[in-house]
Amino acid sequence: MIPSFSNIDAIVPAFMIFSLISIRMAFLFVSAPLLSSRLIPMQIKAAIIVFISFITYLGLPAIVPPPLDVIGFLIAVTGEAAVGASAGITASIVFAAVEGGGRLMGIPMGLGFAQVVDPMTQGSTVVTARFLGVITSMMFLALNIHHVLFKLISTSFIVLPPGTVIPTVISAKTLVDSASLIFIGSAQLVAPILIVLLGVLTALGILARVAPKINLFALSFAISIGLGLIALRGALPQMAVWLEHSLNTIEPLASGVIAGF
């Protein structure tokens, strides 16, 4: 749709539609992994949002303008924000599962004492969680999942035109059900390493009963870290397969959440 504006009455509705498109796209950038990173300057984010929103606006068919009153516009803004944020949060589920798995693995390994700053969240995290997060980020970009998110949001305007979105219980329930995959995914991702570490802790417990004079506090760190890293090295190929499968499920999960609106 290439608009032609002859008077102010045509400009105002078109501007409102473009604003709603930009709001949906902006909330995707606020909630989606990597896109919400603080490492990307706000000016760059704003320019990308405006550019993609403008291209999306030109590609849409004729749309009935949303209500021009303040209350109706605020309701429309809430709906657009909900759609964009839902798609981004759904994509973040895989990263949250990886973060949880990295913490589950790092703490019994003894790496919980070594906290590092995550540049994307500006918070402290376990070394193993950061390591797996970097791998997930690279696979996210290599598989073009960010393109999938842009395409998903752009096509959502055909099913859910700007100004017509109303958050429902179905969409919220679908998002909550998808969030349960965080706990399942965390356990699945690091299950082999946890089994090895459980065996190490069991052996150390037996050793503590047999030889109580041994300084197990110092010995356990060396054994747990060493065997944990060896187990991590052996499990990386299977982890990569799991990550690829999980990242490819982002599109159907996000589509299911958006379909609930």
13-37: per-residue pLDDT in tens? Answer: 778 888 889 999 999 998 888 888 8
Q: Which pLDDT score is estimated for 64?
A: 64
pLDDT of residue 174: 79
The sign of the CA dihedral 21, 25, 26, 31 is: positive
| d(C-alpha 192, C-alpha 235), whole Å | 7
Cα–Cα distance measured from residue 144 to residue 125, given in angstroms and rounded to the nearest whole number: 26
pLDDT of the residue at 49: 92
The residue that leads in pLDDT, 140 or 112, is: 140
Residue the block writes with tokens 């498109």? 21
Q: What average pLDDT does range 133-144 have in this prediction?
A: 90
More confident residue, 172 or 9: 172
Query: What residue ranges do the domains of the chain occupy?
Result: 8-259
pLDDT over 70 at 68, yes or no: no
| Predicted pLDDT of residue 22 | 92
CB 102 within 8 A of CB 133: yes
Report the share of the chain in percent with pLDDT over 70.
87
Between CA 203 and CA 209 the distance in angstroms is 10
Instruction: Look at residues 235, 213, 254 and name the one whose alpha carbon lies nearest to residue 91.
Output: 254
> Is pLDDT above 80 for 40?
yes
3-state secondary structure of 206: helix
Q: Which of 227, 228, 223 is nearest to 208 (CA)?
A: 223
Q: For residue 136, count CB atoms less than 10 angstroms from its CB and return exposed for 0-12, middle for 13-18, buried for 19 or more.
A: buried
Question: For the residues 96-116, what does the mean pLDDT come to?
Answer: 79
Of 79 and 116, the structure prediction assigns the larger pLDDT to: 79
**204 has a pLDDT exceeding 60:** yes
State pTM to two decimals.
Answer: 0.80
Specify the pairing of strand 123-126 against strand 115-118: antiparallel
Question: How much is the average pLDDT of 62-91?
Answer: 80
Rounded percentage of the chain residues whose pLDDT exceeds 90 = 9
Phi, psi values for residue 2, rounded to 5°? -105, 105
Instruction: Spell out a b/e string for 205-226, using b for 16 or more CB atoms within 10 Å of the CB, else e.
Output: eeeeeeeeeeeeeeebeebbee
What is the pLDDT, as a whole number, of residue 130?
84
According to the model, what pLDDT value does residue 116 have?
Answer: 57
Which residues are paired to 217 by β-bridges?
A: none
pLDDT confidence band for 124 (50 / 70 / 90): low
Torsion of CA 123, 128, 130, 135, to 10 degrees: -160
- Count how many residues are written for the chain: 261
Higher-confidence residue of 242 and 123: namely 242
pLDDT at 7 over 70: no
Which pLDDT band, with edges at 50, 70 and 90, does 256 fall under? confident
Q: In the predicted model, what is the mean pLDDT of the chain?
A: 82
Q: 69 in helix, strand or coil? A: coil
Confidence at residue 27, expressed as pLDDT on a 0 to 100 scale: 93
Task: Judge contact between 106 and 129, C-beta under 8 A.
Answer: yes
